[in-house]
Structure formats: structure tokens, C-alpha cells
A = this chain, B = another copy of it.
Amino acid sequence: MHKPVSVAVVGLGYWGPNIVRNLQELPEAEVVAVCDMRESALAKTAQRYPSVKQLRSFAQVLEDDSIEAVAIATPVSTHFELASAALAAGKHVFVEKPLAASAEEALSLLGLADESDRVLMPGHTFLYSPPVNAVRDIIQNGDLGEIYFISTSRVNLGLHQSDVSVAWDLGPHDFSILRYWLEETPHYVSTMSRSCVLPGIPDVAFINLEFPSGAIAHAELAWLAPSKLRRTTVVGSQKMVVYDDTSNEPVRIFDTGVDLPDPETFGEYRLSYRTGEIVSPYVKPAEPLYLELQDFCASVREGSVPRSSSLLGYEVVRMIEAVEESINSGGARVAIDQLGAIPRAA
């Protein structure tokens, strides 16, 4: 077994403490320091983990040679500055999703990681969720046939962000899952949205995504909803799947479809509809964040590309940017270039 990766966790807001807890439980990692400007946040951690260093400035993190890697859980607007400084200081970097506040920033980070030969990994936690992987397996092994379309709803009441739209807040979840399932980036997106509560902050968005393969996807994202909904339907030519993260049966496979025999004489089509059994496979529960941080440690020690790769993180940021561009231009259909030469570090 490798020596544990020594990590500093930067940012102890909502998510940071979860990272600390999971790293503590992980044999492959060791939390050597936490960093936050707020005394109160540090004090809380100190009480739980008295042996962990409490650092008030990020410079201290950078200077500390005992720290091999940083896990950044600060607001999105700071990701670029912190991550690039950490890479420049020779640290491996795990950064919460989205990877950066713009595609330009994200691309810079990929370049820096490449130059410094360090790991750069965005925290797209859903890629480590057991139901998401169960659905990916079903798609990959061809059970669904051709993917016709995907429709997803991710809505609940709150929490409005004061600086970014619902697309920046909730979009990374669905965009990363779609990229992971379909292994392609949409070439067109368009979005209808509205800023219902706060002026200039879209809190509901209906997002269309068109993929090169012909698959289309629709994502409804909202901070305003009568009840929490996490429901994704994948319709294939052979079978269909419903993935619902709030259900006791998160994955349901429907042996349902439509068969198209050869057109008969006179060009008439006769379709036959097939309704078969419905199966809820058993999906063994596991904490995605634990698996994600394990993957980070493996990529640090073994040089492997993490499932939540920097390339995927970059693509997600490009998708969000295109969505924002569509919103800002009244719902226009916005093209996304397909990447040609892919940065090596991805």
C-alpha cells in the first residue's frame, strides 16, 4: 500500500467539513491541515480533529512542504486563483465543481496542471454515485439500444444563490452525468429561463441539449418547486430507464419499446408497442464522496486519470457557459465546438 496522501482542506463552509470527514476515514489519505479565514469555522474543526493544523491563510498552505495536495471547497469565483497557485506550488489539486468560473479559466488550469505534472480533479460527485453508475453500465452494455432522448428534472424549493443562476448551481450535476453516460458533449444548447424572485438571477431554467450522436436531452432546473424532484428518464430504442435519486428504488428498467417492422406495401407503417417486465436492480449504497476522494488519491499515487477528469470538468464549464449565453440572448440556440486536440492533462 502507498503512503497516505497528505491533504489540506481549504474552505470549511457547507461542503468542506464533509471532505474532511471522508478523508479522515480514508486509509489512502491523511488530513494534515484545514484552512479558512473564519476563526469560528476553524474552531469547530479543531474540536473534532485536534491534531489537524489550523491555517488562517492560503499562503501557509502553499508554503507547507508536508502538504502534497489541496482540496478546495471555496466559492466558485475563487477556484481559479487558488487552484492555479496550488499547482504552481507543486500541489495536487482537488477542486469542488464547477472546476472554474469560465471555460477560459478552466482551460488555463488544465494547462498549468499539464506543465506542473500535477493532478487536477474537479469534484463531480455524482460520477461516483452507485445508481448513476448502474445506469451507465446499462447504457454502455447496449441494453437500452440507441439512446433516443433523456429528460431530467432537478427541482426543489431553495436555495437561491445571490450571484449565480440556477444553471451554475444545479447544472453541473446533470451536465456531468450526461457527459459521463453519453461520452459526448452537446453541440447545441438552448435555454428558456426566468428570474422570478431576484432580478437578474434566473431561478428556473428549461435547458435543451443536442448531441452529435443524435441524442437529445432536456433538463428542468429550478429553485422554486412544490416538492423536491430528482427524476431522470432515459429512453432508448430497446428499453427505458428511470433514475430517481430520492426513491428507495433509484433505478428502474422498463422492458418497453416500439418495434418498427419493414414498411409494407403502399408505404404504410405498422408499429407494435412492447410492454414487458419492470426491474429494480439492487443498487448497493455507498457514499459517493468517499469513492471520489479515493479516486483522487489513486490518481495522485498511481498517475491514473480520475473518473471525474479535468477534461470532463472543462466540458461541463463549457456547457454552462453556452447555457448562460443562450439565456443572455433570449433563448437562442448556441453552438459548442467539438474539441479537437485535447489537453494532455485531462
Contacts and interface: CB of A to CB of B under 8 A. Distances in A.
Closest 8 CB pairs of A and B: A226-B254, A226-B240, A192-B208, A278-B280, A148-B196, A206-B218, A158-B273, A277-B281
Contacts of A227: 242, 248, 254
A66 interface: no
Copies in the complex: 4
Majority secondary structure of chain A interface residues (helix, strand, loop or mixed): strand
Interface stretch (A13-21, A101-109, A122-130, A326-334): A326-334
A198 B260 contact: yes
Contacts of A50: 50
30 contacts: A48-B48, A148-B196, A151-B220, A157-B256, A157-B258, A157-B275, A158-B258, A158-B271, A159-B273, A162-B269, A190-B192, A192-B208, A192-B210, A192-B218, A196-B235, A197-B258, A198-B269, A204-B216, A206-B206, A206-B218, A218-B220, A226-B233, A226-B241, A226-B242, A227-B242, A227-B254, A277-B282, A278-B280, A279-B280, A332-B333
Interface in A29-47: none
Specify which of A197, A226, A275 lies most central, judged by the most chain B CB atoms within 10 Å of its CB.
A226
Interface in A302-329: none
Given A197-B258, A273-B158, A275-B282, A148 B190 contact: no
B268 A162 contact: yes
Contact of A333 (B254, B273, B330): B330
